[in-house]
Amino acid sequence: MTEAELDGLVAQIAEEVLARVPGGTTRSAPAGKGEGLNLPNEVCPGCVQRCAQTCAANTRQILSAGAERVSASERLTRIDPAIAGVIDHTILKPEATRADLLKVCREARQYGFASVCVNPYWVPLVRNELAGSAVKVCTVVGFPLGATSTEAKVAEAAAAVRAGAQEIDMVINVGALRSGDRLAVERDIRAVVEVSHRAGAIVKVILETALLDDPQKVVASTLAKLAGADFVKTSTGFNKSGATVHDVALMRSVVGPSMGVKAAGGIRTLADLEAMTAAGATRIGASASVKIVEATAA
C-alpha cells in the first residue's frame, strides 16, 4: 500500500467513525449495560459478599459481557480463582526489585493469573518462575515514550520473545502520528507485529490517548488494525492522564469486535471498571486494584 492509498483509507474510516460521535461527546454505554456489571444491593442467597472479584456468579456476568482479562497491579487480595484467569498481573515500576518480581510471580502461580507483565529486563526471570504453569509472560516495547526507532522496537520485541515473552505491549510513535506520518506509524506497528507473531506472541498497541485528539485516536486505532495488531490500549499509565469511557467507546467503534480493547490508567474504583467494560473494554489495567477489590467486598 502506498502512502497516498493509506492516507485515503484512513481518512475515509476516520470520517465515518467520527460522524457517529457527534461533537466528540462521550458515547452512551451499549444497550443493556448502562447500569454496570455489578448490582451492589443484590447478592447470591446465603452470600455476604457483593464482589465481582470474589463471587463466581458476578464473575460470569463480567465474562458474558465481553471481558477477556482484567489487569491489575501487584497488590491484590482475596482474588477468587474464577476471576484470576482473566487478570494480567502487572509490575512496571522502574524501581521494582528482584524480590518484588518474585513476589508477583508467586502470586500469579498461586491465583492462576493470565499473565505477568514486566519490563523486558525481567522476562528471563519471570519465564523461569512461571515455568510449568499456565501463566503467560508479558512485556513492553518502546515503553513508555514510543519514540525509539522501528529498528530498536523490532530488536527489543525479538529479544523479548526469544527470552520467553508471549505478549508484547508496544507504544506507538506518538510524535510521528501527530505529525501526520501515518505510513511510518503503520510500518512501525507492523514490524513489531510481524516479529512477535512469528514467535506466537500477541501484540497490544498503546496509543497514549492523553496526547491525541479524537481524529488522531481514530487514525491510530485504524493503523493498529491495518497493521495486524491484536489489541489497542489506551495508555501507558506514565503520562498526564489515562483511560476515559469516551476513548474506549471510540476505539471500540473503530476496531470492531475482532480486536481487543484495553483501558488502562486512572481506573481507581469499581464504578470506573464497570464504566470501561460497558463502553467496550475487554481488558482493564488498574494500579488501584486493592481499593477496587475492597470496595466490591464492602
Catalytic residues: 169, 233, 262
Residue type, 290: V
Q: C-alpha distances in angstroms, 80 versus 102, 191, 258, 270?
A: 21, 38, 28, 16
Cβ neighbours of residue 31 under 8 Å, at least 6 residues apart? none
Measured distance CA(143)–CA(172) in Å, rounded: 9
The upper half-sphere exposure of residue 266, i.e. CA atoms within 13 Å in the direction of its Cβ, equals: 16
* Residue in 67, 27, 71, 66 with CA at minimum distance from that of residue 253: 27
Nearest CA to 189 out of 161, 231, 160 is that of 231
Cis peptide before 144 (omega within 30 of 0): yes
CA atoms of 121 and 127, how far apart (whole Å): 11
Q: What does the angle CA 21 – CA 24 – CA 25 come to, to the nearest 5 degrees? A: 85
User: Strand ranges (DSSP E) for the chain?
Assistant: 70-72, 87-91, 115-118, 136-141, 167-171, 202-206, 231-233, 260-264, 283-285
- Rounded to whole angstroms, the Cα distance separating 298 from 285 reads 22
State how far the Cα of 51 lies from the Cα of 82, in Å rounded to an integer: 12
